[in-house]
């Protein structure tokens, strides 16, 4: 079991590094640009940084879940609290990502590409679909915890 969680922890570390790298590269590109930068681009980079910070918080919460897996306490009330925290963070990312839509509208207007707005809508709806997935997983975990508690009471 510990070998599996080591691989998952390494994966979480790689995900966190990629998110940080993406945010740093966007910041470097924004602040080293020689052209005049539109306000919409500053807003988009700010929202990406908010998403990166919230994503790192989710990675930290997932690491706490992996610790619970290592100690065989995955079906506990503490796990439900962590899942609720992850669900709230995912909703925060979804709501913050709505703020990136003006960037897609502006680029769609400048390039006369209305399909670019649809790509932006796809980026906005991805966190919402992940939020729904986390909500379903939390509900399943809640039922499993209640069944475990019932079984412990009958024994």
Return the half-sphere exposure (C-beta side, CA atoms, 13 A cut-off) of residue 20. 9
What percentage of the chain exceeds 70 in pLDDT? Answer: 99
pLDDT at 1: 62
Burial annotation 63-100 (CB, 10 A radius, 16+ → b, else e): bebbebeeeeebebeebbebbeebbbbbbbbbebbeeb
- Predicted confidence at residue 104, as pLDDT, reads 85
Copy the structure tokens of residue 90: 């995912």
For residues 69 and 73, what is the distance between their CA atoms, to the nearest angstrom?
Answer: 6
Please tell me the predicted confidence (pLDDT) of residue 103: 83
Put residue 72 in one of left, alpha, beta given phi > 0 → left and psi -120 to 50 → alpha.
left
Please give the share of the chain, as a percent, with pLDDT higher than 90: 50
User: And the tokens for 122?
Assistant: 């796809």
Domains of the chain: total: 1
pTM of the model: 0.86
Q: Which two tokens stand for residue 92?
A: 């925060």
Q: How confident is the model at residue 33 (pLDDT cuts 50, 70, 90)?
A: confident
pLDDT per position as a tens digit, 82-114: 999 999 999 999 999 998 888 888 888 888 888
Quote the domain boundaries for residue 101. 2-154
Please give the pLDDT value at position 61.
95
């Amino acid at each position: 079991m510990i070998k599996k969680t080591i691989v998952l922890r390494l994966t979480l570390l790689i995900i966190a590094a990629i998110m940080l790298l993406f945010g740093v590269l966007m910041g470097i590109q924004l602040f080293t640009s020689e052209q005049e930068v539109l306000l919409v681009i500053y807003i988009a980079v700010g929202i990406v940084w908010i998403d990166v910070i919230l994503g790192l918080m989710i990675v930290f919460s997932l690491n706490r879940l992996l610790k619970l897996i290592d100690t065989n306490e995955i079906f506990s009330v503490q796990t439900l609290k962590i899942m609720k925290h992850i669900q709230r963070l995912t909703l925060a990312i979804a709501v913050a990502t709505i703020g990136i839509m003006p960037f897609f509208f502006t680029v769609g207007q400048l390039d006369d590409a209305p399909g670019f707005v649809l790509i932006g809508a796809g980026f906005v709806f991805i966190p919402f679909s992940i939020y729904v997935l986390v909500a379903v997983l939390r509900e399943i975990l809640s039922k499993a915890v209640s069944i475990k508690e019932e079984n412990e009471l009958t024994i």
